[in-house]
Structure 1
Amino acid sequence: MTIDLPSLRQKFKEREYKLTPQRQLILQVFIDNRDKHLCAEDVHNIVRQQSSDIGLATVYRTLELLSELDILQKMDFGDGRSRYEINETSTPHHHHHLICLACGKVIEFADDLLEDLESIIAKNSNFTIIDHQVKFYGYCEECRNKRED
């Protein structure tokens, strides 16, 4: 599914929600930052540059709504804040993440080598698996080089 404002307007209309100007601004942040994993504070800082009357509570509520509507994917990288990214696929398996413990950088990778393992687990446990997330924690190249110096 391609994410753009016309398709989002349609999705809101189908679910009987209004696409308010504030929600539209917040959505535009994610459209403009597709490669980033933004927390509520990041989004708030960006939208305040365009509209100083949007409060942090509005950002939090909107992010939760967009997550419920499957427009955004909500993630926890273990740093105490939820991160969000635009959900541009209708498939259940998303990319995975490498998380640097030093600088907090998040690097995406799409190799999904768990399909076979997931099938075996589902069969052996008689469990229907609908999704999985993989997060590797370590040090990015830049931080690793700093630690070696």
Structure 2
Amino acid sequence: MQHERANKVFEMLKQKDYKVTPQRKEILTLFLKKDGEHLSAEEVYRVLQESHPEIGLATVYRTLDLFAELDVLQKLSFDDGKNRYELNDSEIHHHHHLICLNCGKVLEFGDDLLEALEEQITAKIDFKIIDHKVKFYGYCSGCY
């Protein structure tokens, strides 16, 4: 499955006249291995330095921005001063994020409890909702 997803991304890069560089391959592979995690550029850089010390932080930032622009990754802000990225899975409607105010851990909550609210808004206000983002702040089980 990871191989298929990677090939789709590489094919899309080629179609849009972007090179499939070794650095881009490594960054995508990392996100495929850590699917469901929310990684900052610095975390990506630290992990890659262990096996690929030639990859620079600027390359990581540029690649993450490119992947976000191409909807390969979703760029997220949890109000902690840094962006985090996760694989963009268009087959999952919504999930919400739970952010620990102590350790910074980000958990996902997959139930979409807002569908009924979206339907009510659409019916009452004649407003077509295409997306929503919800963040919950609190303390994880390791911190409270």
The alignment's TM-score, normalised by the length of structure 1, stands at 0.88
Q: Aligned equivalents of 2:103 and 2:23: distance in 1?
A: 31
Q: Aligned equivalents of 1:16 and 1:74: distance in 2?
A: 22
Q: Aligned equivalents of 2:108 and 2:29: distance in 1?
A: 21
Partner residue in 1 for 2:62: 61
Q: Aligned equivalents of 2:50 and 2:35: distance in 1?
A: 19
Query: How far off its partner does 1:127 sit?
Result: 2.4
Q: How does 1:1-149 map to 2 (within 5 A)?
A: 4-90=5-91, 93-144=93-144
Query: How far off its partner does 1:90 sit?
Result: 4.3
Q: Aligned equivalents of 1:60 and 1:105: distance in 2?
A: 21
Amino acid in structure 1 at the alignment position of 2:5: D
Deviates more, 1:24-33 or 1:10-19: 10-19
Unaligned stretches of 5+ residues in structure 2:
none
4+ long deviations beyond 4 Å: none
Q: Aligned equivalents of 1:19 and 1:128: distance in 2?
A: 37
Aligned residues, how many? 143
Q: Percent identity?
A: 53
The alignment's TM-score, normalised by the length of structure 2, stands at 0.90
Q: Aligned equivalents of 1:117 and 1:4: distance in 2?
A: 33
Q: Aligned equivalents of 1:8 and 1:49: distance in 2?
A: 24
